Amino acid sequence: MPTFAPAALALDLVVAGPERLIFDQRTQACDASDLPDAPARAFRDAQGQMVLFAPNFRNRAFVGPDIDHLARDCAVRFAAKGKANPQLLDDRTWLHAFHTRDGVNVFALASASFIPYRHGTVCAAGPARTDCWRNGLVALVSHDGGRSFTNSAPPPKHALMPPPEAYSAQVKNPAGFISATNIVPFKGDLYSIVWRRDANARQSRNCLVRARGGNTDHWEVLTNGGFAALADRMADGWHVRTTDCDRIGPRGLPAIRGLVLHPATGTFVAVFQHRRRGPDGTAEAGFFTVQSQDLISWSQPRLLLPVALRGDREAEGARAGYPSLIDDTSADRDFGTVGETADLLFVRFLTQTNGGRVRTLRALVAVPLKLVP
DSSP labels, 325-339: EE-TT-SSTT--B--
3-state secondary structure 269-300: EEEEEEEEECCCCCEEEEEEEEEECCCCCCCC
Q: Write out pLDDT tens, residues 280-319.
A: 888 899 999 999 999 999 999 999 999 999 766 555 557 9
**Average pLDDT estimate for 252-278:** 95
Q: What DSSP character marks residue 65?
A: S
Q: Are 47 and 64 in contact (CB under 8 A)?
A: no
How many angstroms separate the CA atoms of 52 and 57, rounded?
A: 15
pLDDT at 124 over 60: yes
Q: What DSSP character marks residue 28?
A: H
3-state secondary structure of 122: coil
- Quick one: pLDDT at residue 281? 81
Q: Are 250 and 298 in contact (CB under 8 A)?
A: yes
How many angstroms separate the CA atoms of 119 and 116, rounded?
A: 6
- Quick one: pLDDT at residue 5? 55
Q: Are 89 and 152 in contact (CB under 8 A)?
A: no
User: For the chain, what percentages of helix, strand and coil (3-state, to nearest 5) are there?
Assistant: 5, 45, 50
Residue 337 binned pLDDT confidence (cut-offs 50, 70, 90): very high
CATH number of 12-372: 2.115.10
- Quick one: pLDDT at residue 280? 80
Residue 278 binned pLDDT confidence (cut-offs 50, 70, 90): confident
pLDDT at 320 over 50: yes
**Average pLDDT estimate for 243-250:** 94
- Selection from 267, 272, 268 nearest residue 252 by Cα: 272
pLDDT at 67 over 60: yes
Which of residues 333 and 3 earns the better pLDDT score? Answer: 333
For residue 327, the Cα-to-chain-centroid distance in whole angstroms is 16
Residue 277 binned pLDDT confidence (cut-offs 50, 70, 90): confident
**Average pLDDT estimate for 2-16:** 77
pLDDT at 352 over 90: no
pLDDT at 3 over 60: no
**Average pLDDT estimate for 226-236:** 98
Q: What mean pLDDT is reported for the chain? A: 94
Would strands 41-44 and 20-24 be described as parallel, antiparallel, or unpaired? Answer: unpaired
pTM strictly above 0.85: yes
Residue 133 binned pLDDT confidence (cut-offs 50, 70, 90): very high
> What one-character-per-residue DSSP string does 135-176 give?
EEEEEEEESSTTSS-EESSSTTTTEEE--SS---TT-SS--E
- Selection from 281, 288, 224, 226 nearest residue 253 by Cα: 288
User: Where are the chain's structural domains?
Assistant: 12-372
pLDDT at 33 over 80: yes
What dihedral angle (degrees, nearest 10) is formed by the CA atoms of 230, 207, 37, 346? -140
- Quick one: pLDDT at residue 311? 67
Share of the chain above pLDDT 90, in %: 88
50-64, 123-137, 312-326: least confident range? 312-326
pLDDT at 2 over 50: no
How many angstroms separate the CA atoms of 90 and 214, rounded?
A: 27
Residue 4 binned pLDDT confidence (cut-offs 50, 70, 90): very low
Q: What DSSP character marks residue 246?
A: -
